[in-house]
Homo-oligomer: A and B are copies of this chain.
Amino acid sequence: MALQLYNSLTRKKEEFKPLKKGRVGIYVCGPTVYGHAHLGHAKSYVSFDCLVRYLRYLGYSVTYVQNITDVGHLTDDADEGQDKIVLEAKKEKKHPMAVAEYYARSFFEDMDALNCVRPDISPRATGHIAEQLEAIKTLIEKGYAYEAGGSVYFDVRKFTDYGRLSGRNVEEMLAGARIEVAPEKRHPADFALWKKAEPNHIMKWASPWGPGFPGWHLECSVMSTKYLGGPLDIHGGGIENQFPHHDCEIAQAEAVSGKPFARYWLHNNMVTVDGRKMGKSLNNFITLKDVFSGSHERLSQAYSPLAVRQLVLNSHYRNCLDFSDAALFAAQSGYNKITDTVKALRRRIGIAPHSAPDPQVVKRLEELTGRFEAAMDDDLNTSVALSVIFDMVRLAAEQLGENAPDGSLVSIDERFTVLAGDCLGIVLREYPAAGPAVDGLVEIAVEQRNNARRSRDFETADAIRQKLADCGIVLEDGPDGTTWRTK
Contacts and interface: CB of A to CB of B under 8 A. Distances in A.
Contact of A445 (B120, B127, B441): B441
When all copies of this chain in the complex are counted, the total is 2
Contacts of A443: 467
Contacts of A102: 120
Contacts of A260: none
A440 B471 contact: yes
A220 B101 CA distance: 18
A358 interface: no
A150 to B, nearest CB: 17
A236 to B, nearest CB: 18
Contacts of A468: 441, 444
Interface residues of A, number: 49
A441 B473 CA distance: 9
A254 interface: no
Contacts of A98: 63, 120-121
A442 B440 contact: no
Highest count of chain B CB atoms <10 Å: which of A97, A129, A468:
A97
A337 B388 CA distance: 52
A123 B451 CA distance: 63
Contacts of A486: 436-437
Contacts of A383: none
Contact of A436 (B95, B126, B227, B471): B471
Nearest to A432: B435
Interface in A423-456: 433-438, 440-445, 448, 451
A470 B127 contact: no
Contacts of A129: 129-131
B120 A101 contact: yes
A347 to B, nearest CB: 16
